[in-house]
């Protein structure tokens, strides 16, 4: 069951804050400057789903001073000094996902056939207006129960790792590694994964190991494959000022394990998956 309450509707443009709709006189870096400097990302490029490449420093969105300084400034501070909670990580991932979705609505999917945006092709069932409800949990205009509303998985490495970032639009999820720690966040799953006994047993065993990057990415790949073949009903309600989970998710349909899909995801993540006959 879903009910939606209209919040202020506005078109995203270079003069409008992507969060609140006020006049935008600043630019919010999707990946903050401290992160870009720490991992030397300034001139490195992110590959978008249509294979367009854009440098991290150019990934900015219009923002008003209040949202830029008061909302995201405070959030970035706790992330940078490693004092973040799961709720902070969920809010940060929410912001990154939303901002990259805005970019997906700007870039053409096929430059030879203009008119179709990346977001129109990949994210047709995720209207920007609905996604904005989740974003407003970041700014405090909305509250969510549970908090965080999505599943957050935290990983710690004994050795520093290279920066790594993955954004999977259809699953509204991201993976990001920040040196000695990494996160997998499913932004809108109503904590479906965190409520899943089998997944949590595997996760709790995994975090006790001397983790490698491939271990974490394989865990992410398996959950993406599982999500792709599973039809889940999440009972939630979006009402004025609040997003509420109304009960446990129910699995309506689940397809057999798709080994070829899992191999394909692993291949995209740079993992050589070998499955014995």
* Tens-place pLDDT, residues 254-268: 999 999 999 999 999
Q: Which residue has the higher pLDDT, 239 or 215?
A: 215
How many CA atoms does the CB half-sphere of 221 hold within 13 Å?
22
Cα–Cα dist 277/273, whole Å: 13
Q: What is the mean pLDDT of residues 171-189?
A: 95
Say whether pLDDT at 195 is over 80: yes
Say whether pLDDT at 182 is over 80: yes
Condensed to tens digits (0 to 9), the pLDDT of residues 163-172 reads 999 999 889 9
Condensed to tens digits (0 to 9), the pLDDT of residues 84-137 reads 999 999 999 999 998 887 765 555 434 455 554 544 444 434 445 556 777 778
* DSSP-derived 3-state class of residue 167: strand
Structure tokens at 156: 């710690």
Place of tokens 């300084």: 69
Closest CA to 211 of 187, 177, 168: 177
At residue 181, what are phi and psi to the nearest 5 degrees?
Answer: -145, 155
Q: Cis bond leading into 184, ω under 30°?
A: no
- β-pair partners for 151: 186
Percent of the chain with pLDDT over 70: 82
Mean pLDDT for the chain overall: 83
Say whether pLDDT at 4 is over 80: no
What is the longest distance spanned by two Cα atoms in the chain? 60
Please tell me the pTM assigned to this model: 0.86
Report long-range pairs for 105-109 (Cβ below 8 Å, ≥24 apart): 105/12, 107/48, 107/50, 107/52, 108/50, 109/49, 109/50
- β-pair partners for 128: none
Q: Report domain extents, the chain.
A: 26-268
């Amino acid at each position: 069951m879903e009910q939606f309450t209209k919040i202020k509707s506005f078109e995203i443009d270079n003069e409008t804050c992507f969060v609140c709709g006020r006049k935008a006189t600043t630019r919010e870096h999707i990946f903050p400057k401290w992160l870009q400097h720490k991992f030397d990302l300034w001139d490195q490029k992110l590959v978008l789903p249509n294979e367009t490449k854009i440098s991290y420093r150019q990934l900015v969105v219009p923002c008003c001073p209040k949202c830029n300084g008061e909302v995201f400034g405070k959030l970035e501070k706790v992330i940078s000094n490693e004092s973040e909670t799961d709720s902070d990580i969920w809010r940060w991932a929410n912001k990154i996902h939303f901002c990259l979705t805005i970019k997906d609505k700007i870039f053409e999917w096929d430059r030879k056939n203009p008119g179709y945006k990346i977001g129109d092709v990949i994210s047709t069932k995720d209207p920007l207006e609905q996604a904005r409800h989740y974003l407003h949990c970041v700014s405090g205009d909305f509250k969510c129960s549970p908090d965080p509303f999505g599943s957050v998985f935290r990983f710690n490495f004994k050795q520093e790792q290279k920066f790594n970032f993955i954004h999977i639009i259809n699953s509204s999820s991201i993976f990001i590694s920040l040196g000695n720690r990494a996160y997998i966040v499913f932004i809108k799953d109503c904590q479906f994964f965190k409520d899943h006994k089998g997944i949590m047993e595997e996760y709790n065993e995994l975090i006790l190991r001397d983790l490698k990057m491939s271990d974490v990415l394989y865990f992410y790949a398996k959950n993406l494959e599982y999500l792709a073949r599973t039809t889940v009903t999440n009972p939630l309600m979006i009402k004025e000022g609040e997003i509420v989970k109304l009960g446990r998710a129910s699995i309506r349909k689940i397809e057999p394990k798709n080994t070829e899909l899992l191999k394909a995801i692993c291949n995209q993540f740079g993992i050589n998956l070998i499955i014995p006959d």
